[in-house]
Structure 1
Amino acid sequence: MEDRRYVTHMNWAPCKCQKPCSCQQKKQHECKEEKAHKAVNNCRSCICEQLRCLEIGTVVDVFLTGGLSFLGLTFVSFNARNCCAYFLEAGSTSPLIIDCKKIDAIRIVRRV
């Protein structure tokens, strides 16, 4: 007999608003309606989840899938509908927009 205890978790079943949502501890992502969760489920990677809960203004290093990296970016926002993360580079006024699914790693820069 097949063990199916973890099937819904591993297949990213949408939240039915019966359990707390992943960012509830930071109160940035509220479970209001099923439509909102369909957008959230489009961006399923570990990095997308971290960006969903990241505080605005946090300075991070971003490492992309192709080997390119951006150091010292300031996090501006994350759009769960299209998986776009918005960052500002030092000295720039226009945002750098990166698809969260193309990011391999992020590192929060700790200020000394």
Structure 2
Amino acid sequence: MSLFQNDCGCNNSVAGAQSNRRSVAGVQSNRRDECEGCVCDQLRNLTTGTEIEAIFVNGRDILDDVDDTIFVCFDRKTCCATFVAEKDNGGGYGGGGGGGYGGGGNDRIFFTIDCRKIDTIFIEKRN
């Protein structure tokens, strides 16, 4: 079974829904959601399964310790993006040589982050 067949909790049913909010001037907004910013725009249009090279939050690459990170989904309602990262931990987390937990091999780590907190994102270009 594919990792992406299960519902990731990103509530994609709201993808086409438009907000009924009105701007200060009384003109109805055409925004589809409340997630603003260039990173949110990129994630909103990203395809599930796209490989991510780096995600910077507060000037730090939060993917520095992982091998591969894949985009799973984006929730337009909460502005949260979900990713799965794979780490070849060798001996497990918490130190080398098998002293940590995880038992060796590859571990999958699912994480969610608010797109408004991301400084920049590096997306792998596919030919």
Shorter-chain TM range is 0.5 to 0.7
Structure 2 residue corresponding to 1:45, chosen from 19, 37, 52? 37
Higher helix share: 1
Tell me, what secondary structure is at the counterpart of 1:88? Answer: strand
If the length of structure 1 is used for normalisation, what is the TM-score? 0.59
If the length of structure 2 is used for normalisation, what is the TM-score? 0.53
Structure 2 residue corresponding to 1:96, chosen from 104, 111, 124? 111
Which 5+ residue runs of structure 2 have no aligned equivalent?
1-14, 21-29, 87-105
Q: How many residues align?
A: 83
Alignment identity in percent? Answer: 32
* Structure-to-structure mapping, 1:61-72, within 5 angstroms: 61-69=53-61, 70=63, 72=68
Following superposition, the deviation at residue 67 of structure 1 comes to 2.0
Which 5+ residue runs of structure 1 have no aligned equivalent?
1-28
Runs of 4+ in 1 over 3 A off after TM superposition: 32-35, 91-94
**Does the alignment pair 1:74 with 2:70?**
yes
